[in-house]
A and B are shown apart, each in its own frame.
Chain A
Amino acid sequence: MAVSRARRNRVAELGAHVILLTFTVIALFPVILIVINSFKSKRAIFRDPVALPNAETFDLVGYTTVFTQGNFPLYFWNSLSVTVASLFFVLLFGAMAAFALSEYKFPFNRLTGLYLALGIMIPIRLGTIGILKLMVATGLVNTPWALILVYTAQGLPLSIFILSEFMAVVSKDLKAAGRIDGLSEYAIFFQLVLPLVRPALATVGVFTMIPIWNDLWFPLILAPSEATKTLTLGAQVFVGQFTNNWNAILAAMTLAIIPVIFLYVLFSRQLIRGLTAGAVK
């Protein structure tokens, strides 16, 4: 009995691994394809797309194109600064709003929370024309602030929704202890509550970061100037009406993956739980 159960468990475990491995391969395949082909000559890409680059087919022409044509280091910097700034504001304001909603009793508390979370269900792109008019009126078109403001607005609803759930479970006694010890409300927020919801902040951070980094829509509409172009928009110069510069596109995409991976690693380290253990109970 025991033996057969153990064997059945091992079979089930193996099955789970097979499924997970299959999924990993499917998910990683296009990424790997992009990376390996970015190092190959154009002819090699089309002759054998899945082959690894060898001495004969290795070619950095994509990268040289990317770095010589256009202003790629600048696009890169634009993407990074817009993403990091938006992320910062989304997390800061989201956490502050979530703290207020979960910590203080005031009239229409629940209604306010619902209103703030409503944005999850309404795509911000529906308001593009209004946003564009607003940006033109305020003179923010073709500045990074146009993008940062829009992305902050876009990220806030989900961030408030997730963070307020997490903040509600932070021990009331801990906050009370802080108040008795003489911490101000700001100190309670920054020194006690924020460190305890770090895993939630990391989750929200990842969810917020990806769509901002990948977005083409708003950079195209709000900040298409050379000085404010983001990476996704900049890479469009290699997409032609009749021919695409595949080497350059693949090289640009490979480069674009790096900061995302970097930010993801940064956040996922925060995802490790157990920080709260021992504080209460």
Chain B
Amino acid sequence: MARVEIRDVWKAFGPVKVIHGVSVDIVDGDFVVLVGPSGCGKSTLLRMIAGLETIGSGEIAIGETVVNHLPPKDRDIAMVFQSYALYPHMKVAENLSFSLKLRKIEQSVIDERVAAATEILGLEPYLGRYPRQLSGGQRQRVAMGRAIVRDPQVFLFDEPLSNLDAKLRVQMRAEIKRLHQRLGTTTIFVTHDQVEAMTMADKIVVMNDGVVEQMGTPLDLYDNPCNLFVAGFIGSPATNLIEGVVSTDNGCAVMINGARLPVTKELEGRLSEGQKVIYGFRPEHLELGGEENGFLSTVSVVEPTGPETHVVLQFGEKEIVAIFRERHDFGVGQEIYLRPRVGNVRLFDPQSGDLV
């Protein structure tokens, strides 16, 4: 187990800059998820930690050691790949023990560790099989087993669940989390799926275009996104983000499509008449209102999911989504008054994208 420090790391592939000065401090034993859209540099960052990509500039330290120039095998890491990357010509048992044999570890220790990993992951029945004889979930478990037997300082996961079907993915998600709770090894997990990030992470690092947009605990990111990107990326359905203009007549509010949308007292001081802002609120922070305190919108799609109902509404030219836990009998085309919970409203600057 170890702390991982990434200090001002840059990376370019030829003229294309992929990582622009990323600094992340990963506490010993944390489960950290790097999340972002494809091409944001999260996989590259992980591969740099693994030693599979060179580091342009900056430093990466695992434990107390700066690993910039160490080859992957000397970094004391283990990695699980999206494609599992099992050795095709070796049986499961050999796949598990291979890296230890290469390290010339005593056979009795190898047997012990393989047995332990086998037990944790329930691989007993598959030890004599070849990878091609296993299903996707089983292969993924073998890949994890191969990482566990190494007993590394850090686990690296590169989108390990992306090849699994939806049901298995949810199951493996819980399994990986349970594994982390049991072993307590520092884990860095890359995914493009924000649901995976939210459900698994102790700490999420949101990346976009080679920079870290925000890092924090899942709920902290959800409740307090620091900019437009994070607000839009974390959460599904996404945060409603609508452009508007500040009006200070009759108390402070944001004018959108002729409707007055409320802001908190706290925000009022930071706003001035005529200022353009982006008004953001999560779908579940909408409630039914009346003519005097709500804005009028038209129901266009109703999606019941069971526990809650997602309603897509037309608000002026903008489409917004509302989530209701109570069951309402909305018809398509029906006009309803909605009101955002003022305490949950976040305003962003349209130019910089930052929180106002």
Decide if B77 is an interface residue (CB 8 Å cutoff). Answer: yes
Decide if A276 is an interface residue (CB 8 Å cutoff). Answer: yes
Q: How far apart are B93's CB and chain A's nearest CB, in angstroms?
A: 15
Q: How far is the CA of A279 from the CA of B73 in the complex (A)?
A: 21
A278 touches B79 (CB 8 A): no
Decide if B50 is an interface residue (CB 8 Å cutoff). Answer: yes
Known: A278-B132, A278-B133. A179 touches B52 (CB 8 A): yes
Q: How far apart are A194's CB and chain B's nearest CB, in angstroms?
A: 10
Could you show 24 A-B contacts with beta carbons less than 8 Å apart? A173-B82, A173-B84, A174-B83, A176-B50, A177-B79, A177-B85, A177-B146, A179-B51, A180-B50, A180-B78, A180-B79, A181-B73, A181-B99, A181-B146, A274-B132, A277-B88, A278-B130, A279-B84, A279-B85, A279-B87, A279-B88, A279-B131, A280-B85, A280-B86
Decide if B81 is an interface residue (CB 8 Å cutoff). Answer: yes
Give a binary string over B140-151; 1 marks a CB under 8 Å from any A CB, 0 the rest: 000000100000
A278 touches B86 (CB 8 A): yes
Decide if B328 is an interface residue (CB 8 Å cutoff). Answer: no
Q: How far is the CA of A182 from the CA of B98 in the complex (A)?
A: 10
Q: How far apart are A241's CB and chain B's nearest CB, in angstroms?
A: 57
B85 touches A171 (CB 8 A): yes
| Chain A CB within 10 Å, residue with most, of B52, B79, B88 | B88
CB neighbours (8 Å) of B83 from chain A are 171, 173-174, 280-281
Known: A177-B79, A183-B102, A195-B89. A280 touches B73 (CB 8 A): no
Interface, chain A (partner B; CB < 8 A): 171, 173-174, 176-183, 192, 195-196, 274-281
CB neighbours (8 Å) of B78 from chain A are 180
B89 touches A179 (CB 8 A): no
B131 touches A278 (CB 8 A): yes
The 8 closest A-B pairs by CB, nearest first: A278-B132, A279-B88, A182-B73, A181-B99, A173-B85, A280-B83, A278-B131, A173-B81
CB neighbours (8 Å) of B146 from chain A are 177, 181
- Using CB atoms, name the residue of chain B closest to A198: B89
Q: How far is the CA of A173 from the CA of B139 in the complex (A)?
A: 14
A176 touches B52 (CB 8 A): yes
A182 touches B99 (CB 8 A): yes
B71 touches A279 (CB 8 A): no
Known: A179-B52, A182-B73. A275 touches B79 (CB 8 A): no
Decide if B24 is an interface residue (CB 8 Å cutoff). Answer: no
Q: How far is the CA of A278 from the CA of B102 in the complex (A)?
A: 23
Decide if B216 is an interface residue (CB 8 Å cutoff). Answer: no
CB neighbours (8 Å) of B84 from chain A are 173, 279-281
CB neighbours (8 Å) of A179 from chain B are 51-52, 71-73
Name the contact of A278 in the complex, choosing from B51, B103, B134 (C-beta under 8 A): B134
- Using CB atoms, name the residue of chain B closest to A177: B85
Q: How far apart are B77's CB and chain A's nearest CB, in angstroms?
A: 7
Q: How far apart are A170's CB and chain B's nearest CB, in angstroms?
A: 10
Q: How far is the CA of A276 from the CA of B131 in the complex (A)?
A: 9
Q: How far apart are B161's CB and chain A's nearest CB, in angstroms?
A: 13
Name the contact of B87 in the complex, choosing from A182, A192, A274 (C-beta under 8 A): A192
CB neighbours (8 Å) of B50 from chain A are 176, 180
Decide if B38 is an interface residue (CB 8 Å cutoff). Answer: no
CB neighbours (8 Å) of A278 from chain B are 86, 88, 130-134, 139
CB neighbours (8 Å) of A178 from chain B are 87
CB neighbours (8 Å) of A192 from chain B are 87
Contacts A176-B50, A179-B72 aside, 11 further interface pairs with beta carbons under 8 A come to A174-B83, A174-B85, A176-B79, A176-B81, A177-B87, A181-B99, A181-B102, A183-B73, A276-B88, A279-B131, A280-B86
Q: How far is the CA of A180 from the CA of B126 in the complex (A)?
A: 24
Q: How far is the CA of A276 from the CA of B83 in the complex (A)?
A: 12
- Using CB atoms, name the residue of chain B closest to A175: B85
A182 touches B134 (CB 8 A): no
Known: A176-B79, A182-B103. A277 touches B73 (CB 8 A): no
Decide if B257 is an interface residue (CB 8 Å cutoff). Answer: no
A180 touches B87 (CB 8 A): no
CB neighbours (8 Å) of A277 from chain B are 88, 132
**Chain B stretch 137-189: residues in CB contact (< 8 A) with chain A:** 139, 146, 158, 163
CB neighbours (8 Å) of A181 from chain B are 73, 98-99, 102, 146
